[in-house]
Amino acid sequence: MFEILMFLFENYMNGNITLAADHQTILTELEKIGFDRFEIGRAIDWLEGLHQFQASVQSGPQLTSLSMRYYVAEETERLGVEGVGLLARLEHLNILDPITREVVIDRLMALDPREVDLGRIKWVVLLALFNQPDKKSAIVLLQDMILADAFKVIH
């Protein structure tokens, strides 16, 4: 499913997390490319969940940077110590704020457990930040982190 999300991100999103074509058109095109119909549906549902959760969290009670986040056992198991540490680091660097952190955690929990690793956590953060105009500098920092990790060379 994650490969489909990345494909949709690169080809069908115009500056926000709303798809730039109707679902049937996207489904047909992705099936022609060779993606599985069930996985396409999961990816589209995941993106819709992202949009809905962002809207509900942003309209709910405001979280502050003084808020403390405790991870439940299922979240810790899914994200791992490294994943929780990465989210804390991204918050410390002001790439994530408490609201966006909650969106990221929700969307990571919506993934299949086998699909969650540090690289994908970064991509979910990028997707969560993508349609927030006030987060452009955070997106640039995160993209730099992703690219730096992609081009690490072992000496």
- DSSP 3-state of 19: strand
Q: Which two tokens stand for residue 104?
A: 């990221």
Predicted confidence (pLDDT) at residue 84 exceeds the cutoff of 70 = yes
Report how far residue 133's alpha carbon sits from residue 17's, in angstroms, rounded to the nearest whole number: 12
102 vs 148 pLDDT, higher one: 102
Nearest one of 130, 135, 132, 108 to 119, comparing CA atoms? 108
Tell which wins on pLDDT, 6 or 143.
6
Which tops the pLDDT comparison, 112 or 64? 112
Residue 11: predicted pLDDT: 76
> What is the C-alpha separation between 113 and 127, in angstroms, rounded?
18
**Average of pLDDT values for 73-100?**
92
Give the number of other Cβ atoms within 10 Å of residue 81's Cβ.
8
Q: Which of 14-18, 24-28, 141-145 has the highest mean pLDDT?
A: 24-28
148, burial (CB in 10 Å: exposed 0-12, middle 13-18, buried 19+):
exposed
Instruction: Report which of residues 140 and 15 the model is more confident about.
Output: 140
pLDDT, position 16: 55
Mean pLDDT of the chain: 81
Instruction: Decide if pLDDT at 109 tops 80.
Output: yes
Residue with tokens 């993106």: 47
Check residues 52 and 21 and name the one with the higher pLDDT: 52
**Per-residue pLDDT at 128:** 85
Q: Which residues pair with 1 in a beta bridge?
A: none
pLDDT at residue 136 in the model: 67
Non-local (6+) Cβ contacts of 97 within 8 A are: 63, 65, 91
3-state secondary structure of 13: strand
